[in-house]
Amino acid sequence: MFTTAHAVVAITIAHQTGDPMLGLVLGVLSHLIFDAIPHGDRNFFAVERHSSGKFNVVKDQKFF
């Protein structure tokens, strides 16, 4: 799930419950449930490690 969608769902749940702890629990549960649905954002970024030991984050061209 895209970060924006996660944020919108979490904010909506927290706002509707009115209880921070219940919102947290339901937010985590919704995160797990919605991440089980395939939605096309896998491999959005790829991490490459160079021989120097440094990591680079590169955009994956196979996203769409």
Structure token digits, residue 34:
């919605």
Write down the pLDDT at residue 1: 58
Domain boundaries, the chain: 3-59
10, 15, 16, 20 alpha-carbon torsion, rounded to 10°: 80
Write down the pLDDT at residue 5: 80
Judge if pTM exceeds 0.85: no
pLDDT digits (tens, 9 = 90+) for 19-45: 888 988 998 898 888 888 766 655 555
